[in-house]
Amino acid sequence: MKALKRGINLWSIFGWKYQGHPPLEEIFKKIKEIGFDGIEFVYDTGNLHPDILDRKTRKNILETCESLELEIPSVATGVFWRFNLGSPDEKIRRRGLKFLQRGLELAYDLEAKVLLVVPAVASPDVPYEKTFELSVESLRKGAKWAEDYGVIIGVENVWNKIFYSPLEFKSFLDKINSEYVQAYLDIANTVNFSYPEHWISLLKGRIASVHAKDFDLNVGNIQGFRHLLKGSVDWFKMVRLLREAGYDGYLVLETPPEFDPELKEAKYPEDGYKYAKYNLEALNKIISQEK
């Protein structure tokens, strides 16, 4: 089995909204210098909008990473919180599907194997089963595009008021029934509601990528996310279980500076690099248990 690789989501470096500084090339060089194997690229509705990231820009990004021997294993986005793929509003779903298609195209151009997708966002005014059905319908459409591009849609388990059970999550993937729609497992997102052991077991063979961060159960709310080994997740056990389940891909850090409860105000990218280095050291310690 291949060795696990170490990646980092770009939000961990420059925050949730990229303003164009420092240049991406400078960020990539620093990430490589810190010691990562790859980066998770991101797109949004601002400076990293797919329309702004034209073919020339994408080629430059890919060539820069290749020159640094830095992979782009995956692409992530937060646009599906706004353009809900399970919304009863057809206009919203159409916008979401457009961003899904453009995201798959972007991932293909960057030679990424996985596109992270939030499958739906529940609302108290919409029947639960309706959101479920509409999301399945949207991702069945997306699965056809994913197959065309050769990119896997990684459905992430998030705090979206839906799909919190690993059995339900598996059932959701079963209904879509495509090898191009798999799980993007965020282990720390599971621990406040369930046991991550169950997710790893039930999703065996269908985990496209894994997010790595921590969560403090003593906090128990959205403020409880922490940097690696600073919370309640037994990451040594999690990696062992992932390996037993046959997973040999990336562990992608999603660890913005704000996960440190003692930090009053994050400074980007300086604090992004600082915590990236800490979290990589923790990740190396976890992965080294295999040796």
The answer to whether residues 255 and 12 touch, using CB atoms and an 8 Å cutoff, is yes
The pLDDT of residue 290 is 59
Q: Report the predicted TM-score, pTM, of the whole model to 2 decimal places.
A: 0.97
Q: Is the pLDDT of residue 289 over 90?
A: no
Phi, psi values for residue 256, rounded to 5°: -65, 155
Q: Is the pLDDT of residue 89 over 60?
A: yes
pLDDT tens-digit readout, 16-32: 989 999 999 999 999 99
Partners of 38 in the β-ladder: 7, 71
Contacts of 25 (CB under 8 A, 6+ apart): 60, 64
- Domain hosting 202: range is 5-290
pLDDT band at 1 (very low <50, low <70, confident <90, very high): confident
Q: What is the mean pLDDT of the chain?
A: 97
E strands in the chain: 5-9, 38-43, 71-77, 114-117, 152-156, 181-186, 207-212, 214-215, 225-226, 250-253
**What average pLDDT does the segment 207-214 reach?**
98
**What average pLDDT does the segment 54-61 reach?**
97
Q: Is the pLDDT of residue 123 over 50?
A: yes
CATH number at residue 165: 3.20.20.150
pLDDT tens-digit readout, 190-204: 999 999 999 999 999
State how many domains the chain has.
Answer: 1
Angle, vertex CA 156, rays to CA 131 and CA 100, nearest 5:
70
The pLDDT of residue 238 is 98
pLDDT tens-digit readout, 132-162: 999 999 999 999 999 999 999 999 999 999 9
Q: Is the pLDDT of residue 291 over 70?
A: no
Q: Is the pLDDT of residue 257 over 50?
A: yes
